Every structure is written in C-alpha cells, then in structure tokens.
Amino acid sequence: MKIAAYVDEEGKAVSFNARGMVRIYKRRSGIWVNMTGFPLELRRDAGLAEFQAAFTHMIARLEDCRIFIVDEIRGVPCAILDSMGFRLWQVAGPVLEQLDLVAGKTQEEADNATSASRAPVPVGDPRDGFYRLNLRQVLRSDASLNSRQVLIPFLEAGAFRKLEVLCDHTPRWMEKELERLHLRADSEDWETSGVRITLSPDPDSATGRSTEHRHALPSGFSGCGGGRRSCME
C-alpha cells in the first residue's frame, strides 16, 4: 500500500493553503519508507483550471497511489482530489507516526464495502422488506465465494418479505434449503441466459403442508455464476 501526504520540511501534515511538498510512503517488511518527494506549488488565489493542472501533473508522479493525507480537508483543492478518486485523510502532526492508523482505516473501509456489496440491497423503502441481489455479479467479482456462502446467512436471518436473486442458473442446493427454511420460490428468464428467482416466506410450508406446487424452480439447473463449481455448492 502507498500513501501520499502533503507535508512541511519536518514531515508534519499541512493544509494546501501552506507551503509544502508531496511525499509518497510505502510499507516494506512492516516499516514505512519515504519513497520519494517533490514540491507542489499552489497559489492561494489560483483558479480552478490552475488547481486542476497542478493536480494532474501530481497524479502522474503518484502513479497508482490514491490515498492522500492533509492537515485540513476543505476548499477547492480537496474537492478536486476527491473528484479524481482520492481517499483523503485529515491528520495533525508527524505523518510517519500515523501511517499505520490511516492504512488500517483504509483497509477497514474497503472490507466493509466488499461485505456490503455481497449482501442483498433493499429496493424502495427498507420497511417493505423487498430485497435484490445480483448473484452473478457477486460471484464474478470474487472467485473464492460460492452461492451458498452468499445467500444462506441472509435467508436464515429471515428479515425479508421478498428477495429477488439474479443469477446464471438456479443453485443445486436451493430446493432442499427452501423446504428447511419454509420459503417458496418463483422463477422466470432474466436477460438472455439468466434466471430471476423470487424468494418469499411460505406459510403452507411453515404449517407442514406440502409445497411441491409452490416451487417453480426449473429442473436440470446445476449452478449459478457461469457454471463454476463454487456456484453449485
């Protein structure tokens, strides 16, 4: 991980209103190393075009680094960096002493974003209990996952009235789990080669009555997410 910072001569974070330079740090064998540094000239009365030109030149030298530390997150310069895809962190004092904290917080945000993207999202008012999950997209974004890992925790929680699952094929395990969890399913074609499965609580199943007429899962399907083995488990 690389982290850039706008600092003074003592390595303390400063705002873009002060004179300073950009330093790029990288962690090697658990130790943060100052890889390089270069001056960044920003006039306080500069216009938008001048700020953009200065940051465009800076980005070329930062390469793949998109984490940036400053003393104050406000004003046009920070707004421009934010629009360019940078994650800005505000710290005070020596930057080197706080790089572990910034790196940890950045990783935590990334982990939370990944977890959130794997979970079904509410459609409309969350109180209505209608959720949707693009299982095809989730599985293609992380080859280590399978459909059971993604869906079962949400289905077992049961905090929904309807869940729409978009996938390539119906998971092989689904019909058996629907009976166990007292859920019903209806399916229809989705896009050119996928299936849209709508899951909802099945009151007949919960009372012990037969639900064979309730399940509309097509027979013969064996996986979800392009036919990969992980989708079928």
Q: How many CB atoms lie within 10 A of CB 19?
A: 11
Looking at per-residue pLDDT, the higher value among 74 and 220 belongs to 74
Question: What are 127's two structure tokens?
Answer: 């109180």
The secondary structure of 163-186, three-state, reads EEEEECCCCCCHHHHHHHHCEEEE
The side-by-side arrangement of strands in the sheet containing 2-7 is 31-39, 21-28, 2-7, 67-70, 87-90
- 72-84: b or e for each residue (b if 16 or more CB lie within 10 Å)? bbeeebbebbeee
pLDDT band at 206 (very low <50, low <70, confident <90, very high): low
CATH of domain 2-115: 3.30.420.130
pTM score: 0.54
Question: What are 76's two structure tokens?
Answer: 């046009």
> Any idea what DSSP says for residue 84?
T
Residues β-bridged to residue 4: 24, 68
Task: List the chain domain ranges.
Answer: 2-115, 119-232
5-25 confidence digits (pLDDT tens): 999 999 999 999 899 999 999
33-81 confidence digits (pLDDT tens): 999 999 998 887 888 889 889 999 999 999 889 999 999 988 888 888 8
